[in-house]
Amino acid sequence: MIHSNPQTKTDLSEIIAQLSAGKNLCSSQTEFATKVIFDCLASSQSPTNMLPLMVAFFGGLTIKKPTVDELAGMVEAMDKTRSSTFRFNSSKPIVTAGGTGGDTFQTINVTTPALIIAAAAGAHAIKSGSKSFSSKAGCIDLAQDLGINVYATQQIVEECMRSIKTSVWASEGVYPWMKPLIELATDESAYAVMPMLYSLRLMIAAGLNPFGLKRQVRGVSQPYTETIATVLSKNGYERVLVVLGYGANEDIRIDEFSNLGRNVVSEVKPNGSVTTFCFYPEDIGLQRGDAKEVVYPGSHALNTQAILKVLLGKDQSTRRDLILLNAAAILYIAEAASNFKDGYELAKQAVDDGAAIEKLKQLVALSGGCPEHLRSLYNKDLGDIFSKAGSLL
């Protein structure tokens, strides 16, 4: 972990003034300001009152473009608010995955089903997340819709990792400022200034680590892959992929691997070096997908139905390839696949042989979730698939 410089004699107004002048901050300044904002969020009865300060600080950084040192200080403050220490005692590397949000094109939820599929295909993989912050369906929204208990105790999460090698968990249980931040995001005025807060997203991309893990696949929706990878490398991460996915043109940007067009990927290698490269779906034999097939379908229920079809092996569309590609990246960082192509094939097999839906069933049960709710997702459209799944459900 990066350690901040000794605290300079400064206050928040001086920091804001420095940002307003377009000047870079040192890591101790951003650590100080971020800690003040976190403390205020955690204790505030009305998170909306924090919006002007957040716009001044995070907005100033967004306009100026945050540096590695600035993000390092923010991550230091963020890490100090983590209230729990997980112990997984795994002999295999464990990978976590997630994105910043802020896509220019709203897609179905991708990372959560990709993680479940990757776990079914041999990865040890875990995800933290929140309810929707700016996207249509957040990780936790989907997981709850599938029947997973995302508010399980730390002991249950650890048991899930020991027994079935995967879990999905709400990160607000570790970060006391997370729930107020999510509440703030539902405010209309906050929504209007959300683009100003992109540096906040970058801080979360570089620092959200409730499990204390050192491997991850992280998506960003603006060209900061190398910046985030560099921060993660300096913070001692072992292996990381930071990706920005594009569509047919660069007006479409998503915070995960894309099968719609080019991907810019910054990889942190075991020796700490960072390599940036472009990856295309054709590199592993995939056809470019149709953006209309991966667009958010309009409601949490329809989003969940679309994801369940993929997990059950019924969907053969662009949605399936998008999710399998992201599962492949997780398998690669978990060292369960030697490259993206092998990872894609392993993920595809896990869906086709029923291992993915079985993994979901196990997670719902072991997390203390609601298997009956998963069964209730049965409908006319999925009826034939559920009947074929037999004992899985």
354: left (phi over 0), alpha (psi -120 to 50) or beta: left
Three-state secondary structure call for residue 385 = helix
Residues 47 and 130 in one domain: no
Residue 167 lies in a domain: yes
Three-state secondary structure call for residue 243 = strand
Residues 238 and 202 in one domain: no
Residues 162 and 196 in one domain: no
In sequence order, what are the residues at sequence separation of 6 or more whose Cβ sits closer than 8 angstroms to the Cβ of residue 233? 240, 268, 272, 273, 274
Residue 86 lies in a domain: no
pLDDT for 131: 66
Name 225's bridge partners.
Answer: none
Pick from 299, 316, 324, 308: nearest CA to 386: 308
pLDDT for 129: 82
Residue 145 lies in a domain: yes
* Tens-digit pLDDT profile for residues 350-378: 999 999 999 999 999 999 999 988 888 85
Residues 133 and 245 in one domain: yes
Residue 219 phi/psi, 5° resolution? -105, 145
Name 239's bridge partners.
Answer: 215
Q: Report the distance separating Cα 345 and Cα 352, nearest Å.
A: 10
Q: Report the distance separating Cα 219 and Cα 97, nearest Å.
A: 8
Residues 77 and 186 in one domain: yes
Residues 68 and 216 in one domain: no
Range of the domain at 237: 91-172+211-393
Residue 3 lies in a domain: no
CATH code of residue 202: 1.20.970.10
CATH code of residue 311: 3.40.1030.10
Pick from 362, 251, 271: nearest CA to 311: 362
Three-state secondary structure call for residue 203 = helix
Residue 2 lies in a domain: no
Structure tokens at 254: 């998503």
Q: How far is CA 169 from the centre of its chain?
A: 12
Residues 196 and 126 in one domain: no
Q: What is the DSSP string of 98-128?
A: EE----SS-B---HHHHHHHHHHTT-EEEEE
pLDDT for 351: 98
Which domain-ending residue is among 163, 189, 209? 209
Structure tokens at 287: 């056809």
In a 10 Å sphere around its CB, with 0-12 CB exposed, 13-18 middle and 19+ buried, how is residue 43 labelled?
A: exposed
Sign of CA dihedral 190, 191, 193, 196: positive
Pick from 240, 242, 281: nearest CA to 260: 281
**Tens of each residue's pLDDT in the chain, 393 residues:** 444 444 443 589 999 999 999 999 999 999 999 999 999 999 987 888 899 999 999 999 999 999 999 999 999 999 999 988 899 989 999 999 999 888 888 999 999 999 999 999 999 999 998 765 545 567 888 999 999 999 999 999 999 999 999 999 998 878 999 889 888 877 877 778 888 999 999 999 999 889 999 999 999 999 999 999 999 999 999 999 999 999 999 999 999 999 999 999 999 999 999 999 999 999 999 999 999 999 999 888 899 999 999 999 999 999 999 999 999 999 999 999 999 999 999 999 999 999 999 999 999 999 999 998 888 885 545 554 444 444 444
Supply the pTM of this predicted model: 0.92
Q: Report the distance separating Cα 339 and Cα 225, nearest Å.
A: 20
Residues 186 and 232 in one domain: no
Residues 288 and 256 in one domain: yes
Provide the Cα torsion 121, 122, 124, 129; round to 10°.
0
Residues 165 and 203 in one domain: no
For the chain, first and last CA: distance in Å?
Answer: 44
Domains of the chain: total = 2
Residue 310: count other Cβ atoms within 10 Å of its Cβ: 25
Residues 243 and 98 in one domain: yes
pLDDT for 132: 57
Structure tokens at 346: 């392993």
Residues 76 and 55 in one domain: yes
